[in-house]
Structure 1
Amino acid sequence: MFALISVSIAPAFALLSFFYLKDEYELEPIFSIFRTFLYGALLVFPIMFIQYAFQEEGVAQSLFLQSYFVYGLFEEFFKWFIFIFTTYKYSRFNTVYDGIVYGVSISLGFATVENILYLFAHGIEFAIGRAIFPVSSHALFGVIMGYYLGRAKFKNNRGISYLLLALLLPTFLHGTYDFIIESIRGQWIYGLVPFMVLLWLLSLRKVKIANEISQTQ
């Protein structure tokens, strides 16, 4: 059990450390990172309950609605909401890049609990694949969300637009991720690898821009 929990947590720790240390301006307090990570972790069970209820009631059964609504929108909306409700006004959130750090933290809290549950159910042999794809993708959705929430906080004239982008773009990306997996079963890796490469490039671009903006704030 210790080994399973360790391999479940390790990818999130590595990814969170990577994006945390990419902050070129001012590192956030570890306690604040842990707190937002915990918020993300606590989201798993209510979201799973809602998704289960939708499946049992036969609501939104098409592949498109399952991917973009039941999984993409639900998961990203709750992350977005908890970020705004708990962290957006936080005094230490004082640069655009801080948004990325907190967005990644919330997303990886969610991904870690989800990963533990999956590996308990299906076995430790899936750990590497889970680290490369689902856990990493959640982190990258968090980068995109956090970037636009950071822009929203420090860009008064376009704040609403950035707030909406912080929800809609991760939702679209998350939905596309799930749609690729479900639409080309058995050969999903041929669609998902290029998607993940593009997602990493987009996210690293946002990291670079956020650091540049943060240094001028």
Structure 2
Amino acid sequence: MSAERDPVERASGDDQDLYDVATWEPRTALDRFSTWLYGGLATTGRAVVVVLAVLIVAAQFAAALGLVFFDRPVVAVYVLLSVVPALGLAAFVWKADATKREPLELLVVTFAFGFLFAGFAAILNSIFSGLFLGSVTEQSSVAIAVVVPALYFFLVVGPVEETVKWLAIRLYAYRSDRFDAVVDGAVYGAVAGLGFATIENAIYIGREVVAALEATGGPAAVSVGLETAAVRTLAGPGHVIYSAFAGYYLGLAKFNPENRGPIVVKGLVIASVIHATYNTVVTNLGVLTGAIGLPPGFVFIGFVVVYDGALFYVLYRKLKRYRAAYEQTGAETFEDDQREGDADEPGDLRGTDSSENERDRQ
């Protein structure tokens, strides 16, 4: 029962029936119909979001990439290789989870949603890019050329992309009883970031190959695809790290419902800012390399390694702190004892539809 109760309920005795006065549970046919209708609308709403995401992604591939992955399977291999570092980071976060391992079903669905929901981000980014970047021309001052894209990254790209990755967790895994620890949020966040990085890499690499095919022909296109894949290999791990932060705070919010909103916002702000900072610096590396006289590729690799490495260390420390608390408090033993005790209680509804409906109402 919620900690916030109506004054009548607080003052009443346990034997007083306050149904439809200050308390409520499904009793009548109308109550049960309302509960069924709410569950149906919620399920339909989630299904509509997923179907819309699938259609958007399919349209993106059809319009921008065509059949390039079928005509040149090597391009698909480039995409798979480009996400190996991101996969490694996600696996590390999964392994660092001190609690019981997350079920494959939830991991796969979260990855798929991260992959699919990237289409929403692409649409919103495109809508706002003209508003921000349309004013930047070759004749613009250095200040405008730096500040305006930075505003675009901090106000649009970072928040939009981190929010859709957050949605990939919130829509399914978060609602499950098997999301039963704060640290699980980091695991699902990392997996959502991996899904997002996979489709982003596929679109970037495929689009460059298509452009090269139209301009120069086959051999050059394959070379361009390989070069793009090399760059995207370094960009992918960032998505895993950023959304792992947002996911961790989503997990924290789940188990602190009285402060759920501010905690979720904190996680999204952290993820959005570090994401936007990365984009801003990478976009302006040309100015930096021109000033110091170093090869652009060298500076880019150095920045990515240092920046993502530092953020990953912070994430690692957060996961390590959780593990220490988990071990020091004897949480694993306590949870085992609780599960054994609950199993002995009659009417245990964990994992049933009624518990799922109760979470839906929260």
State how 1:148-163 maps to structure 2 within 5 Å: 148-163=249-264
Higher helix share: 1
Greater CA deviation, 171-180 or 85-94? 85-94
2:308 is the alignment partner of 1:206: no
State how 1:132-143 maps to structure 2 within 5 Å: 132=234, 134-143=235-244
Which residue of structure 1 lines up, in the alignment, with residue 182 of structure 2? 96
Residue type at the aligned position of 1:209: R
Which residue of structure 1 lines up, in the alignment, with residue 233 of structure 2? 131
**Of 160, 180, 194, the match for 1:74:** 160
Which residue of structure 1 lines up, in the alignment, with residue 151 of structure 2? 65
* Contact 1:143–1:206 (Cα < 8 Å) also in 2: no
Residue type at the aligned position of 2:152: Q
* Contact 1:100–1:146 (Cα < 8 Å) also in 2: yes
Q: CA deviation at 1:192?
A: 4.1
Q: CA deviation at 1:51?
A: 1.6
Q: CA deviation at 1:37?
A: 0.3
* Contact 1:71–1:175 (Cα < 8 Å) also in 2: yes
> Looking at CA atoms only, which structure, 1 or 2, has the larger radius of gyration?
2
* Contact 1:147–1:210 (Cα < 8 Å) also in 2: no
**Of 193, 208, 212, the match for 1:107:** 193
* Contact 1:104–1:139 (Cα < 8 Å) also in 2: yes
* Contact 1:39–1:82 (Cα < 8 Å) also in 2: yes
* Contact 2:158–2:273 (Cα < 8 Å) also in 1: yes
Q: CA deviation at 1:16?
A: 2.3
Q: Gapped runs of 5+ residues in structure 2?
A: 1-72, 134-147, 209-224, 290-295, 332-362
Q: TM-score of the superposition, structure 2-length normalised?
A: 0.55
Q: TM-score of the superposition, structure 1-length normalised?
A: 0.88
Secondary structure of 1:129's counterpart equals helix
| 1:13-40 alpha-carbon deviations (Å, 9 max, x no partner) | 3222222122222101112101000000
Identical positions, percent: 29
Residue type at the aligned position of 1:38: A
Which residue of structure 1 lines up, in the alignment, with residue 206 of structure 2? 120
Name which structure has the greater RCO, CA cutoff 8 Å, separation 6+: 1
* Contact 2:186–2:251 (Cα < 8 Å) also in 1: yes
CA distance in 2, matches of 1:140, 1:9: 13
Which residue of structure 1 lines up, in the alignment, with residue 136 of structure 2? none
State how 1:36-47 maps to structure 2 within 5 Å: 36-47=110-121
CA distance in 2, matches of 1:116, 1:195: 24
* Contact 2:166–2:243 (Cα < 8 Å) also in 1: no
* Contact 1:97–1:214 (Cα < 8 Å) also in 2: no
Which residue of structure 2 lines up, in the alignment, with residue 35 of structure 1? 109
Residue type at the aligned position of 1:177: Y
Q: Gapped runs of 5+ residues in structure 1?
A: none
* Contact 2:82–2:230 (Cα < 8 Å) also in 1: no
Secondary structure of 1:4's counterpart equals helix
CA distance in 1, matches of 2:314, 2:248: 11
Superposed CA RMSD in Å reads 2.1
Q: CA deviation at 1:145?
A: 0.9
Greater CA deviation, 89-98 or 182-191? 182-191
CA distance in 1, matches of 2:193, 2:320: 20
Which residue of structure 1 lines up, in the alignment, with residue 307 of structure 2? 195
State how 1:11-30 maps to structure 2 within 5 Å: 11-30=85-104
CA distance in 1, matches of 2:109, 2:326: 23
**Of 145, 159, 173, the match for 1:87:** 173
CA distance in 1, matches of 2:248, 2:258: 17
